[in-house]
Amino acid sequence: MYTDNPTTPIGRRVVIGQMSVFADLEVPFTGEEYVGLIWAADSTLDEGDRMKVVGTLIDSGCQYIVCGGVDCERWHDDADLAFANLEVQSDSLRTDLPMVMTTWHDNESMEDVAFFAINCTNFDDHDFNRLLVLVVGQESERLDCVNRISRVLRAPAGTQTDPSTPTGSVL
């Protein structure tokens, strides 16, 4: 299930996806460079499924993976391993493989991690204009996450929202 938010205030096209099993994953930006934010609402997926998810994102053009929520360091490590496996599986040492940046944000609020993904992931010659937010977990856990992330996406450029208020007031 995907929610397409046409653009953020800074001009990024954002798609919010939800999944509880790997089979639910559909990547909307195949062949285009983009940032992927994985927010794990719970520990629904095991290591094998996490590897499939991050491998699929990397194969589709994701060049920056931001991990937050439950087991976010594991998601990060799996993304690094998936990229390393891609390099090893290539026929020869390829210099054309794009670099994939990864970060994890342990003990950070969903709002702060979303703010980082929206505002702090451009680097060097990479000026990403697409963001996939993937909320992973059981349905009961995902809805609140999607609503909170949506508030951050609507906030004026460079501002953070206050997660302690029901409407996510701008700070």
Q: How many domains does the chain have?
A: 1
Q: 17-26, 44-53, 162-171: which has the minimum mean pLDDT?
A: 162-171
Q: In whole numbers, what is the pLDDT of the chain averaged over residues?
A: 83
For 89-147, the pLDDT digits (tens) are 665 555 666 789 999 999 999 999 999 998 899 888 888 999 999 999 988 788 888 88
Question: For the domain that residue 135 is a member of, what is the CATH number?
Answer: 3.90.190.20
In a domain, 18, yes or no: yes
Per the model's pLDDT, the better-predicted residue between 12 and 58 turns out to be 58
Query: Is pLDDT at 58 greater than 80 in this prediction?
Result: yes
Closest CA to 147 of 159, 133, 131: 133
Separation between Cα atoms, residue 165 and residue 162, nearest integer Å: 6
pLDDT confidence of residue 31: 83
What is the reported pLDDT for 112?
Answer: 94
Range of the domain at 22: 2-154
Give the count of beta carbons closer than 10 Å to the beta carbon of residue 26: 12
